[in-house]
Amino acid sequence: MTDTQWETYEVFHQSKRGEAHEHVGSVHAPDAQVALQYARDQFARRLKCVSIWVVRTSDITATDYQDESFFSQSTDKSYRDPKTFGAPDHL
Amino acid sequence: MSEQDEKEHLAEFEARIARGEKVEPGDWMPEEYRHNLIRMIGQHAHSEIVGQLPEGKWIPFAPGFRRKLTLIAKVQDEAGHGQLLYRAAETLGATRQEMIEELLAGKAKYSNVFNYPTPTWADVGVIGWLVDTAAVVNQSMLAQGSYGPYARAMRRICYEEAFHIKQGYDAVVALAKGTPEQRAMAQDAVNRWWYPTLMMSGPPDKISEHTERAMRWRIKTKTNDQVRQEFVDLIVPQIRALGLDVPDAECAPDKATGHYQFTRPDWNELKRVVNGDGPCNAERIAARRKAHDDGRWVREALAAKSGQSTKTAPLLA
Amino acid sequence: MTTPTIESLLLAMADDELVLGHRNAEWTGHSPILEEDIAFSNIAQDEIGHALIWYTAYEKLAGRSPDQMAFERPWNEFTCARFVTYPKGDFAYTVVRQFFFDVAEEVRLRSFLASSSEVLRSSAAKILKEEAYHRLHTQGLVERLGDATEESRRRMQAGVTAAYAQALGLFEALPDEAVLVAGGVMTPNIELARSWIEAVAPVLRSVSLTPPVALTADAGGRRKKHLPDLEQLVTDLQSVYRLVPGGAW
């Protein structure tokens, strides 16, 4: 007999105001509200936390690791790096 | 995929691992790597949720508020670790449901050590201290492994295992400093858990089927024997410092190697226990099956309420 | 006017929390799904933690430690409501019982915010923070399981039918309640019971669960008239501790 497999939600956790939300894991949950509760119990029972986001895993659009050209920058872009300028650091 | 492509992918894959980079879900990987990892992470996850049982048995009896709260939190963490690990395996294309059903059907393996009984309170302390120290030696190694989601899960789990070891040690210290009866209880538990704990790192390298490839692909970064030796070197001085005995007359430091010598456990026993014929295998699986069967209506009802259909988890981690 | 002695009140609440926490922890390792295992283990720890708050307040007045009160006191000296002593039942009964308890706690603790007793005011404020989350979780489960499938509906209704009169037993009057009420320490239990009935009704109604029509509160616990379930539970609870009474564990 096949069983019910709840969908997964990705969990993002913010440790304090001012910090970014970080991905910390995922939970199986029947809906987003319950996912928030499960995320709290699984990922915020020790870590300090002021905010949690949950996102249905299937709603995430991601790049493909295979497609390295997506991130490739073959021409010289060093002019974007502040360190490549001779200007003094105190500026 | 042509044989040529396959070769190129494999070369690229192995080069990535050799560079110390992690493999991520969705990357090309040899089927064997995927299978080995699903098997290994699945076994690890099963070990966590089966591992809830021998200690969880003592939650109603834990002596005092602090021990009771600590033990609930510890066994809760094991559910949490199971949750993290099943998820890591899901990123390789397995589903938690399939893995759990394999466990319940008696088709999946899990750590030998959870198939032994826990007849006294001292078992709770000794499991936390001995078994979890052995687990952490192994898991710190796995945290260096090549598969990103597994390594990430391991880092978090190792952090929580530090709490497990300390609470276990603390409980054993209380016994070691207690009445003669309490002390005897602690020694008896050390005696019973010593060899099962040594077996946890797996069969010796010369008969282990999985080690060589697992090392090359950095599924493991140390061999079973290395992990076992590291554990022995770590734990023997701790046991003796508490005035307890290591139940092995041969156990002594070897000046030439700087390591402790010790008597090897009975590998036939390990084989028997891992293959389902340990003292408590049937009881453990029956308990998990009961929880699973009794809880089916809850899982179904919550899914029905939200209109979720049965879905396979996608590969993101 | 001096504040009347609140020991009996503190112990009744402490015993409720400890025994229910003990029952909830029976799910650890045996829950319907891993995520719920983690959630109920949290609730169990919270309830036992609340018991510790009340036992500690008691210790300051009476000098006996939380461990002494929980692990050395005879079972027939406990004053918990019978409600918390019943076996955990199926998950539906557990969810309904915990939801009923969460609402009862909320009603009682809110009433303490205006108590003449400082320790009740400050402890209530502290505990209410955690209770709010319990209620969110258990009410959410009642609202989801109450009318999801035929089986979940049947089980949840059975849970409500069994637990409702038991829950009213939480509001059994304390032997010295009149003095406590007169001293501004607490609101009469009969009033709290009314607030509880009003608070749970809309939640049950929203998923067509119905409380039993004719009922009497399952009282007795506050007067130490307990069932064998509590005797077994306390025997288990104290079994290791009593091997070396007063010893270090």
Q: Give the number of other CB atoms < 10 A from CB of residue B286.
A: 12
- Poorest-pLDDT segment among B4-8, B146-150, C33-37: B4-8
Which of C33, C34, C136 minimises the CB distance to A37? C136
B136-151: per-residue pLDDT in tens? 999 999 999 999 999 9
**In chain B, beta strands by DSSP E:** 252-254, 259-261
> Is the confidence at residue C1, as pLDDT, over 60?
no
Quick one: pLDDT at residue A3? Answer: 63
Which of B56, B62, B174 minimises the CB distance to C29? B56
**Amino acid letter at A29?**
A
Quick one: pLDDT at residue A5? Answer: 85
Domain ranges within chain A, ordered by starting residue = 1-59
- Give the whole-angstrom CA distance, residue B148 versus residue B153: 9
CATH of the domain at B63: 1.20.1260.10
With CB atoms and an 8 Å threshold, state whether A45 touches C42. yes
CATH of the domain at C106: 1.20.1260.10
Q: Residue C200 in contact with residue C103, Cβ under 8 Å?
A: yes
What is the domain count for chain B?
Answer: 1
> Is the confidence at residue C136, as pLDDT, over 70?
yes
Among A2, A28, A43, A55, the residue to mutate for chain B (most B Cβ within 10 A) = A28
With CB atoms and an 8 Å threshold, state whether A3 touches B308. no
Enclosing domain of residue C67: 7-209+217-243
C195-208: per-residue pLDDT in tens? 999 999 999 999 99
> Is the confidence at residue A80, as pLDDT, over 90?
no
Among B302, B306, B308, the residue to mutate for chain C (most C Cβ within 10 A) = B302
Q: Which residues of A touch B310 (CB under 8 A)?
A: 2, 4-5
B66-82: per-residue pLDDT in tens? 999 999 999 999 999 99
Q: Give the number of other CB atoms < 10 A from CB of residue A87.
A: 7
* C2 lies in some domain: no
* B149 lies in some domain: yes
Mean pLDDT of chain B: 94
What is the domain count for chain C?
Answer: 1
Which of C39, C136, C144 minimises the CB distance to A38? C39
Enclosing domain of residue B54: 8-201+210-282+292-306
From chain B residues 71-90, the ones with a CB under 8 A of any chain C CB are: 72-73, 75-76, 78-80, 82-83, 86
- Poorest-pLDDT segment among A63-67, B263-267, C164-168: A63-67
> Is the confidence at residue A36, as pLDDT, over 60?
yes
* B287 lies in some domain: no
* B2 lies in some domain: no
What is the band of B16 on the pLDDT scale with cuts at 50, 70, 90?
very high
- Residue that wins the pLDDT comparison between B91 and A76: B91
Can you say whether the dihedral through the CA atoms of C244, C246, C247, C248 is positive or negative? positive
What is the band of C3 on the pLDDT scale with cuts at 50, 70, 90?
low
Please indicate if any CB of chain B lies within 8 Å of the CB of A22: no
Q: Residue C116 in contact with residue C122, Cβ under 8 Å?
A: no
Average pLDDT over residues B186-209: 94
Average pLDDT over residues C3-15: 90
Which of A5, A10, A25 minimises the CB distance to B84? A25
DSSP 3-state of C26: coil
Quick one: pLDDT at residue B311? Answer: 46
Quick one: pLDDT at residue B312? Answer: 46
Average pLDDT over residues A61-79: 87
CATH superfamily of A1-59: Phenylacetic acid degradation B (3.10.20.520)
* Strands lying side by side in the sheet with A7-14: A22-29, A7-14, A51-56
Q: Which residues of C touch A28 (CB under 8 A)?
A: 33-35
From chain C residues 16-75, the ones with a CB under 8 A of any chain B CB are: 22, 25-26, 28-38, 41-42, 44-45, 48-49, 51-52, 66-67, 70-71
Quick one: pLDDT at residue A66? Answer: 83
Q: How far is B316 from chain C (nearest CA, A)?
A: 19
With CB atoms and an 8 Å threshold, state whether B290 touches C30. yes
Please indicate if any CB of chain B lies within 8 Å of the CB of A62: yes
Q: Which residue, among A6, C95, A24, has the nearest Cα to B310 in the 3D structure?
A: A6
